[in-house]
Amino acid sequence: MSTSLKNLSEELVTPPANSETYKIGIVRAEWNTPITGALEDAAIDYLNQAAIAPANITRITVPGSFELTTGAQLLLERGLLDAVICLGCVIQGETRHFDFICQAVANGLTNLAIQYKKPVIFGVLTTENLLQASERAGGRLGNKGREAALTAVKMVELFKTYKQAFKTTAGFK
């Protein structure tokens, strides 16, 4: 994702060859909808700019960020997608709930990527307050939903490149 040195939200769109055939899933948490909705809108906008066919974008919503893992698994089980983008927002509170949710989601999504051998993109804002979340959902720090979509496209391209290169190599599926 972006740093103070580089804001990926401003990266130019150069669609990869055959990107219109990429099949991308988006799982969005309903909790903090003004933020997660802005993340999803920016992700869809980027996928459209990258020439992903609208019919190849599958979107579902889940109640909160904790459920992103289950939503992503639901999409991945069908075996039809090239990548899944998970979008959520967890804002620090006064208890350790924040830590448990963030750790569980990060671990869950990582495990799904390994299990299904597909890119599962962590587009979850983990902020101290609503202002920080707003700044990352279209504010002065760009939009992390767009960056998550950019990451998904780049990872699908990487997977397709290496699958082609190692097509005859045993063990790479």
d(CA 122, CA 105): 9
Residues catalogued as catalytic:
97
Strands 57-62 and 24-29: parallel
- 36, 29 Cβ separation under 8 angstroms: yes
The domains of the chain are located at 17-165
- Written in H, E and C, the secondary structure of 118-131 is CCEEEEEEEECCHH
Dihedral sign, CA of 76, 125, 138, 16? negative
Answer whether 94's CB lies under 8 Å from 131's CB.
Answer: no
CATH 3.40.50.960 fits 17-165, yes or no: yes
What value does the mean pLDDT of the chain take? 90
Q: Tell me the per-residue pLDDT of 8-56, one tens digit each, with 9 for 90 and over.
A: 666 656 778 888 899 999 999 999 999 999 999 999 999 999 999 999 9
pLDDT of residue 4: 54
pLDDT, one tens digit per residue, over 68-101 is: 999 999 999 999 999 999 999 999 987 788 889 9
Are the C-beta atoms of residues 171 and 26 closer than 8 Å to each other? no
